[in-house]
Amino acid sequence: MDAHVSPARVGGRTRAPPSKSYTHRAILAAGYSDEAVVRDALVSADTKATMRAVRAFGGTVERDGQTVDVVGFDGRPGTPDDVVDCGNSGTTMRLVTGCAALGDDLTVLTGDESLRSRPHGPLLDAVFALDGRAESTRRNGQAPLVVGDGMSGGTVEIAGDVSSQFITALLMAGAVTDEGIDIDLTTELKSSPYVDITLELLADFGVEATRTDAGFSVPGGQSYAPESGAYSVPGDFSSISYLLAAGAVAGDPDDPVVVEGARPSAQGDTAIVDIVRDMGAEVEWDEDGGELTVHPAALSGTTVDVGDTPDLLPTIAVLGAIADGDTVIENCEHVRYKETDRVTAMADELAKMGANVTEQQDRLTIHGGQTDLVGAAVDGRGDHRIVMSLAVAGLVAEGETTIAGSEHVDVSFPNFFETMADLGANVTEN
């Protein structure tokens, strides 16, 4: 499907979608429990993959709108009747690998072509070191994966600079092992706030897990049980980033964009608020009320380290293409291992729209002062974040921008284009 975006002013009130990161963890945590309700869940292609996995392990998942009732497998997953299809969801694949490792028998995990090209080797090695079985059928660290044999726990070393999701998978599974798991990091942890999300959610489900001098530790023999049997998912700041960016570059001065559902949490992507402010836009955050108001402004380039906030790279790149001066995105090599290589994807697609961009292995520089964006036919690369960021660029590019693969927003923000249209964007899909 293609989306067509033309220049327009946006304004008014809208609501952030629930957090994808929290929803994944909450659904799986409910699966680890005896029974739990997840409220305000994001229902998207990715989170549905995690729901499928919980069902495959013997849980039941019933959904009424954004309320998900889960009868779990109480810490011990059953053997799936078939392979578990994780779709395009790397988060599902990695978190479920830890869960599958607890099973006495074996689970086969697979996904679409993109997911089958993503690395899982360090997590597979960690499961093996903890007395489980985990291997790639192609022996290249990529799915399909075969996992199981009753991981018992212990101490394991793992690199922290490939994916924080490996750490999350081990922490969530470690709580119900016999021995618990102590994780010693061999390299600096990238995307650290995503592990903070995990620690916060585990605490909300009554599970103890802590940072240590070496890395992380979770005692075994614990049970998952949220207070009063229910957990509510906060708003998603990765998705909020597109709404803030749209308001900053194409907002109506008399009717600013107001985003509801923006309460503080452990999400690292709350950094987008300060980034937009640093570039010159006025952003008011009522933290108690959970409302963000952004006023349009002439932006200036900035320098941002995305070591802890990889999902913000596409948004920052678009802001940089519209701002005056250079915007430098540093420490971004790990962003190449997402649904697509987002560093190259943004460099190439923005260049089609007239942006002057310099790409290096661990840095992306957008020369805003040498850029005049024009509408073009661009490719969303099958990546929801590329699609949404290019749509923001289309709001201010001269002429029409056509984005191929617009349906991929279903991964994290299913009603993104409807939301943008409600705010006044000139957008159609066909």
If asked whether residues 254 and 208 sit together in one domain, one would say no
Q: Going residue by residue through the chain, which has 430 residues, state the pLDDT in tens, using 9 for 90 and above.
A: 999 999 999 999 999 899 999 999 999 999 999 999 999 999 999 999 999 999 999 999 999 999 999 999 999 999 999 999 999 999 999 999 999 999 999 999 999 999 999 999 999 999 999 999 999 999 999 999 999 999 999 999 999 998 999 999 999 999 999 999 999 999 999 889 999 999 999 999 999 999 999 999 999 999 999 999 999 999 999 999 999 999 999 999 999 999 999 999 999 999 999 999 999 999 999 999 999 999 999 999 999 999 999 999 999 999 999 999 999 999 999 999 898 999 999 999 999 999 999 999 999 999 999 999 999 999 999 999 999 999 999 999 999 999 999 999 999 999 999 999 999 999 999 8
Check whether residue 279 and residue 215 sit in a common domain. Answer: no
Query: 348 with 374: CB under 8 angstroms?
Result: no
Predicted local confidence at residue 192, as pLDDT? 93
Instruction: Give me the pLDDT at residue 406, please.
Output: 98
Annotated binding site: 20-21, 25, 90, 118, 163-165, 191, 311, 338, 342, 385
Last residue of a domain, one of 202, 232, 262: 232
Question: Rounded to an integer, what distance in angstroms lies between the CA atom of residue 203 and that of residue 226?
Answer: 9
Phi, psi values for residue 181, rounded to 5°: -135, 130
Say whether the peptide bond before residue 144 is cis (omega within 30 degrees of 0).
yes
Binding-site residues for 3-phosphoshikimate:
20-21, 25, 163-165, 191, 311, 338
How many residues does the structure list for the chain? 430
- CATH number of the domain encompassing residue 48: 3.65.10.10
- The confidence score (pLDDT) of residue 236 equals 95
Same domain for 59 and 158, yes or no, is yes
- Among residues 311, 326, 379, 383, the one annotated as catalytic is 311
| Count: domains in the chain | 2
- List the domain range (segments joined by +) for residue 322: 2-17+235-429
Indicate if 387 and 262 belong to the same structural domain. yes
Pseudo-torsion of CA 259, 26, 69, 237, nearest 10°?
A: 10
Active site residue 311: yes
> Among residues 198, 232, 266, which one ends one of the domains?
232
pTM: 0.86
Q: Sheet containing 12-15: give its strands across.
A: 12-15, 257-260, 291-295, 282-286
**According to the model, what pLDDT value does residue 205 have?**
98
Can you tell me whether residue 153 is helix, strand or coil? Answer: coil
Q: 50 with 78, same domain? A: yes
Give the residue ranges of the annotated binding site for phosphoenolpyruvate: 20, 90, 118, 165, 342, 385
Same domain, 211 and 312: no
Question: What is the pLDDT at residue 162?
Answer: 87
Residues 160 and 262 in one domain: no
Domain boundary among 232, 266, 295: 232
Cα distance between residue 27 and residue 20, in whole Å: 11
